[in-house]
Amino acid sequence: MLKLYNTLTNKKEEFIPLVQNEVKMYVCGPTVYDFFHIGNARSFIMADVIRRYLEYKGFAVTFVMNITDIDDKIIKKAIEGRKEYSLVAETYANAFLEDLKKLNIKPATLYPKATAHISEIISMIKLLEEKGFAYNVNGNVFYDVSKFAGYGKLSGKNLEDLESGSRVEINDEKQNPLDFSLWKKAKEGEPSWESPWGKGRPGWHIECSAMSCKHLGETFDIHAGGSDLIFPHHENEIAQSEASTGKSFVHYWMHFGYLNIDNEKMSKSLGNFFTARDVVKTYPAEVIRLFFAQTHYAGPLNYSVELLDASKKGLEKIENFVFSLREKQKSAIEHAKKIPFSCKKFYNDFEEAMDDDFNTAKALAVIFDFIKEVNRLFVEYPQLDKSFLEKVEKFLQKTAVDVFGIASFVKEAETVSLESELIEILLQLRITAKAEKNFALADKIRDDLKSLGIQLLDSKEKTVYKKS
């Protein structure tokens, strides 16, 4: 039984989708004014792992991640760079998709953009206005939080306490400091669209409500995002969506913990951040994914080079095992001596961990225990049955590859193939050098390969090599 922690109810709940065997999931994507930082990457990667495990469980997952391509920050960046806002948004939206691919994150079913949903946004605002939840002041439309009885139910915040301790931007047009923008009146030089309230552009919160409702329905299964989005963004999404439709907006709310540096939240405003594309230049995506998965998705995680290096060593254990497995498969035989081993216990332990609110740390421990046990059997049994090795590969494929994205049998095979081709090129070059009596070059090729752990064995017929 899969259980997950629901921020809305503050407890673990059995996951029961609206439609049997189907999951509709929405994850808040980036505002595309810059490259996303490694803290954002944690949310995107952990959402990817959750989506992958739901598919492992047999669910057909519709996975939507929005792209906010109109926002104050984008406009500010465009003005500073003397560029069109659309060019800034397009540049960083493309970079976002490139970086997701580098991090081995599965493509979403859909990446809706805010500017492609202006008509849906306007329709939702009009409905809120007609129902008395929104008011227009000189072309600026605000949501009246006092009209929504459930305001604060996600964050646990009390409306009166919020009003007394309000830190939101002062705006004389608002009836209440907590009221938020649904539609912003056009300013000179800024992008705008025609609307019933005059030219303007949408507020940030209404974009997600309109896009999620269009593509997943007025009520859907899972909404996820960083913990920093609980209030006000997700709180405001609930208020807008439920006020407009009169229905429950989302059944399960999931939030990812902060990534800290020196125990302080990583953020662009604090300047203590690294972009994901910079980090992936030093550490492979698999190392980053393993690093994040070693801590529960909802808890805080401290970022450090030391921890990434430790994850790198953990990944090497997996890669070495995959290589060893491939070598064993070359000499495997049919119907060898039966090995007293079953993958069933490891599958059960893996699923038990992941079913418990996606306990990735415990699930990873199961994978490493599996590798340790199979390595022991490799030593104990010199002759291995093909079917046994196929079952070993299948377990790793379904868990380490398909769910966690931290290993690849295809990648390993491609690497071995490329390595063999390059060595053959060097062997042919050495043959040519010897034929031309360039023995210095021939010896250098032999010695350099030896330093890399590749020993050449010369005979009258040909030269072969083996790894030492």
Tell me the whole-structure pTM to 2 decimals. 0.86
CATH code for the structural domain at 3-293:
3.40.50.620
pLDDT band of residue 276 (cuts 50, 70, 90) is very high
Domain positions in the chain: 3-293, 321-407, 411-467
- 456 pLDDT more than 70: yes
- 171 pLDDT more than 70: no
Chain segment 317-339, per-residue pLDDT in tens: 999 999 889 888 888 888 777 88
CA dihedral 159, 164, 165, 166 (to 10 degrees): 70
- 5 pLDDT more than 60: yes
Same fold, 3-293 and 321-407: no
Determine if residue 325 is left, alpha or beta; phi over 0 gives left, psi from -120 to 50 gives alpha, anything else beta: alpha
pLDDT band of residue 163 (cuts 50, 70, 90) is low
Q: Is 143 exposed, middle or buried (0-12, 13-18, 19+ CB in 10 A)?
A: buried
| 239 phi and psi angles, rounded to 5 deg | -60, -45
Contact 468, 454 (CB under 8 A): yes
pLDDT band of residue 41 (cuts 50, 70, 90) is very high
Rg (CA), the chain: 28
Burial 186-224 (b: 16+ CB within 10 A, else e): beeebbbbebebeebbbbbbbbbbbbbbbbbeebbbbbb
Q: How far apart are CA 366 and CA 298, in angstroms?
A: 20
**Looking at per-residue confidence, does 236 or 172 come out higher?**
236
**Looking at per-residue confidence, does 454 or 96 come out higher?**
96
Angle at 67 between CA 62 and CA 68, to 5 degrees: 140
Chain segment 224-235, per-residue pLDDT in tens: 999 999 999 999
CATH architecture of 321-407: Up-down Bundle (1.20)
Percent of the chain as helix, strand, coil, to the nearest 5: 50, 15, 30
pLDDT band of residue 412 (cuts 50, 70, 90) is very low
Rounded to the nearest integer, the mean pLDDT of the chain is: 91
Q: How far apart are CA 441 and CA 428, in angstroms?
A: 12
To which residue do tokens 């301790």 refer? 165
Q: How far apart are CA 139 and CA 320, in angstroms?
A: 63
Number of neighbouring beta carbons within 10 Å of residue 156 = 12
- DSSP category for residue 258: P
Q: Residue 133: CB partners within 8 Å, gap ≥ 6?
A: 143, 144, 147, 148, 239, 240, 243, 244
Quick one: which of 446, 424, 422 has its CA closest to 434? 446
Token pair belonging to 216: 């997943």
Q: Where are the alpha helices (DSSP H) in 3-146?
A: 38-56, 72-81, 85-102, 118-130
Mean pLDDT, range 192-212, rounded to an integer: 97
Burial 119-141 (b: 16+ CB within 10 A, else e): ebbbebbbebbeeebbbbeeebb
Token pair belonging to 61: 């997952």
- 463 pLDDT more than 90: no
pLDDT band of residue 11 (cuts 50, 70, 90) is very high
Q: How far apart are CA 442 and CA 236, in angstroms?
A: 71
